[in-house]
Amino acid sequence: MPEDEEFVIRILRGGEVVGASKAVREAAENLRKFFDQVKRDAEEVGLDPTYIENYFPRSWNREAIKSNRAAFRQRLIDNDIVEADTVAGVIDGMLNKQNELYSFHSNLLTQSRKFQNLDDNEFAELLTNDLVPVTTN
């Protein structure tokens, strides 16, 4: 169910889901173990991955951003994510389909995060919230 997928994602991003089913909680727990293991594996082979609390791959929904550009712009500024004088260029880059960092098919596990101090649950409506493509890209 799409709602269950959204609940799993919300939990993985560090949010609470009141009344989430046992299956949803187990799915979130298993995916958390998977992402934690990927980090440990990277460390074992000598890599130094950045620790991100409540890590879940972040995939921006370009159509949602395009449809809500003014509100997105203001939220980036209000949350001290991007400076007001550079936010237009950042959003233009996100909407540019040639920009691989924000592309849906980019390898989300190995990409560096452009926005470091962003609570993904607060921007959920602007992110891709489909569990399968986000976790398998």
Helix, strand, or coil (residue 50): coil
Q: Who's near 96: CB < 8 A, 6+ residues apart?
A: 102
Spatial distance between the Cα atoms of 108 and 120, rounded to a whole number of angstroms: 14
The residue range of the domain holding 11 is 2-136
Counted domains in the chain? 1
Q: Who's near 48: CB < 8 A, 6+ residues apart?
A: none
pTM value?
0.80
Spatial distance between the Cα atoms of 103 and 93, rounded to a whole number of angstroms: 10
pLDDT digits (tens, 9 = 90+) for 18-76: 999 999 999 999 999 999 999 999 999 999 888 888 989 888 899 999 999 999 999 99
Spatial distance between the Cα atoms of 7 and 39, rounded to a whole number of angstroms: 23
